[in-house]
Structure 1
Amino acid sequence: MKVSPVLLPILRSRMQGELLALVLLHPEREYSLTELAADLGVTPTAVLREVDRLTGGGILTDRRVGRSRLVRARTDTPLYRPLSDLMAVSFGPMPLLTEALAELEGAQRAYIYGSWAARYSGEPGPPPADVDVLVVGDPDADALFDLAEAVSRRLHREVNVHRVPAEAWEARTDDPFLTSVRERPLVQLNLAPEAQ
């Protein structure tokens, strides 16, 4: 039996939330079913079933190019704006932070931790008020602050970013902050481009 995701219990599954967030928060893009499956870490068959439901419901639109089926958000319906806002505040941190941090020089890895990661992992509790992000590496502090501010505006909630050098993250430590972060749920963001 599938359990509704704690982040937004009106959805059928976490995969549905991740797919909607990815596509609705990037309305200018088209995604192939294979690309969606790879981005979400699920089978193409699972994506196909969900895309069929969402195109049938008028939330997504699709077209065929050769053997590929390309999907994008349908922005011409009254559902688009409120649904994309709902996806931004619930499942939006993953695609928006991944996109922003992947282009930030010096960011080697990144994790969401805290209450958002706990809800994403299925721990019950109130909706997260903010999003806590740990960036491993040595990105410019001002650039990281600006990035957090920009993503905060899109998510309609505060994004708190903590930067830690790779050596400190990988080492055994008694640092209370790092110990606390490691003991709780972590959601790793995939910052590596597909080609690598």
Structure 2
Amino acid sequence: MRTPPPALLPILRSQVQGRLLALLYLHPEVEYSITDAAAGTGASVKAAHQEISRLVEAGLLTDRRAGTSRLVRAAVDSPLARPLTDLLALTYGPLPVLTTALSGLRGAETAYIYGSWAARYNGEPGPPPADVDVIVVGDVDVDDLDERARRAEKILRREVNVRRVRPETWADGTDPFVSTVRARPKVAVPLDEQEQVDA
């Protein structure tokens, strides 16, 4: 059974394709094994392999062998690279960009993208999100958090609204804002460098 096109960028064939392209094009200096690319996008190795093979054949990715591993990266020499990177930054970009931006943030326990971007990412139809909303749970330096958000904005070319919530407020769940965020679609942002793929 054919799955519907992704709500973030309906011109793509699948959500996995969008996640893979965003990971590779927004980190063009990194080569990923198929396993690492799958882990970095939450896809199965089989699904990642199939999509990567299609994208290599189409000239959007390049690959090479290193021992038994197949390494892939964005085809940055393609005339499509710049416009595709721009399009991916505006659609799928928030998750890989914020994963990198929030990596190693001292005091952070968890982070989520919520709001309209998370809704589109989770398949809810609607207009393209105008901004990106992020909640960070932990005792973090607000100035450091804001600086990281501003760096992400430069790549994503849209406003990144970051809100810090103390762990006890998040755990309690009685705060109206926290209750709303918990009830609506959200996307976890990996904070531990070990969870990331060379980001």
Q: CA deviation at 1:41?
A: 2.1
Give the corresponding residue for 2:191. Answer: 191
Deviations 1:104-125 (A, max 9, x none): 1111110000010111111111
Give the corresponding residue for 2:160. Answer: 159
* Runs (4+) off by over 6 Å: none
Unpaired stretches in structure 1, ≥5 consecutive residues: none
Tell me the TM-score normalized by structure 1.
Answer: 0.96
Deviations 1:112-165 (A, max 9, x none): 000101111111111100000000111111111111111011001100000001
Question: Where does 1:110-149 land on structure 2 (aligned, <5 Å)?
Answer: 110-149=111-150
Higher relative contact order (CA 8 A, sep 6+): 2
Alignment check: 8 A CA contact 2:55 2:61 kept: yes
Tell me the TM-score normalized by structure 2.
Answer: 0.94
Q: CA deviation at 1:192?
A: 2.2
Q: What secondary structure sits across from 1:104 in the alignment?
A: coil
Give the corresponding residue for 1:169. Answer: 170
Percent identity of paired positions between Structure 1 and Structure 2: 58
Distance 1:172 1:146 in 2: 27
Distance 2:128 2:57 in 1: 30
Question: Where does 1:1-196 land on structure 2 (aligned, <5 Å)?
Answer: 1-173=2-174, 175-194=175-194
Q: What secondary structure sits across from 1:8 in the alignment?
A: coil
Q: Between Structure 1 and Structure 2, how many residues are aligned?
A: 195
Distance 1:172 1:73 in 2: 42
Unpaired stretches in structure 2, ≥5 consecutive residues: none
Give, as a single letter, the amino acid of the residue that structure 2 aligns with 1:33: I
Distance 2:190 2:176 in 1: 26
- Summarize the Cα distance change of 1:60–1:160 in structure 2 as closer, same or farther, 3 Å threshold: same
